[in-house]
Amino acid sequence: MLLPRGAEAISPTGHYTGYVWVRHDLAPRELATAEGRLLFHALEPAMRLGRLLGQPTFEGLLVARHRMLDVLLAGAIERGEVGQVIEIAAGLSARGWRFTRRYDVTYVEADLPRMASRKRELLERLGGGPRVTTVDALADDGPDSIGALADTLDPSVGTAIVTEGLLNYFDREAVSGMWARFADVLRRFPNGAYFADVVLRPGARSPAARLGTELLQALVRGRVHLHYESELEAADALREAGFPAAELSVAGTDDPGARLVHVIDAWT
């Protein structure tokens, strides 16, 4: 199966994760795709073996980080700190669909053009959902920048930016640039929150984790970057980018895969 190169190469993992979320009741079946089903069943023998051996699995990592990001975002909304959400590289996540049904929030999903178009089509099967648009997270300005998207939101309402499964596809310089743009945008609002996930370098040193990284790189036909040695180093980078309050924590402990990924809870 030939997969596209470059930025659009992230899409195959988007299809796979979308199917994983459906299987774990984190998304309606309308958001499952044939591509995701194909990838899931192709990888399932390796995942099954990993579970039998008590090793981390990509599936376990995906589910843990998704649930923890849900917890962080729900908490911010329920405390009244956030009423608008921008999810960048939302892929086939049902978070926007679930949260707009559960809360009175403005939710905007942004992704690459191909995935954004596919997501709109799938949401139509569900009778609609969050607003879906395209954003270039690497753009400093222009119509496809995060700043231009923020211009369409209410400046009097607390706002969160969410990224899931995005950071490790970019090198450290690109991540630092994204974080600086996110912080700059969020300072426009009374409250600004950033929730994300990241795999730290020590978390990928076990044989199982290295195998998972190699598998992911084969899927996206590109490099997976591991930027930071510790929670403290990553938090310092976030503060330097403009988030004075930043902390990281392990996504979970009930699954070996959950212990490989950290979630970011940062505020402007």
Q: What is the reported pLDDT for 206? A: 54
Which of 56-65, 75-84, 123-132 is predicted with the least confidence, judged by mean pLDDT? Answer: 56-65
Q: Output the pTM of the full model.
A: 0.88
CB 162 within 8 A of CB 73: yes
Q: What is the reported pLDDT for 224? A: 74
Closest to 243 measured CA to CA, from 188, 199, 187: 187
- Convert the pLDDT of each residue in 122-144 to its tens digit: 999 999 899 999 999 999 999 99
Alpha helices in 84-230 (DSSP H): 95-102, 113-125, 146-150, 172-186, 207-220
Q: What is the reported pLDDT for 191? A: 98
Closest to 140 measured CA to CA, from 185, 108, 87: 185
Q: Is the pLDDT of residue 179 over 90?
A: yes
Q: Is the pLDDT of residue 113 over 60?
A: yes
Q: Is the pLDDT of residue 8 over 50?
A: no
Dihedral of CA 234/236/237/243: which sign? positive
DSSP structural state of residue 202: G
For all residues of the chain together, what is the average pLDDT? 86
Q: What is the reported pLDDT for 181? A: 97
| 45 compared with 211, residue with greater pLDDT | 45
Q: Provide the terminal-to-terminal Cα distance of the chain, rounded to the nearest Å.
A: 43
Q: Is the pLDDT of residue 93 over 60?
A: yes
Highest-confidence segment of 202-211, 221-230, 231-240: 231-240
Rounded Cα distance between 18 and 12, Å, is 10
Which of 42-56, 71-85, 140-154 is predicted with the least confidence, judged by mean pLDDT? Answer: 42-56
Over residues 28-49, the mean pLDDT reads 84
Which of 5-9, 11-15, 201-205, 235-239 is predicted with the least confidence, judged by mean pLDDT? Answer: 5-9
CATH architecture for residues 60-216+224-267: 3-Layer(aba) Sandwich (3.40)
Residue 1 — very low, low, confident or very high, per pLDDT cuts 50/70/90? very low
Over residues 239-250, the mean pLDDT reads 97
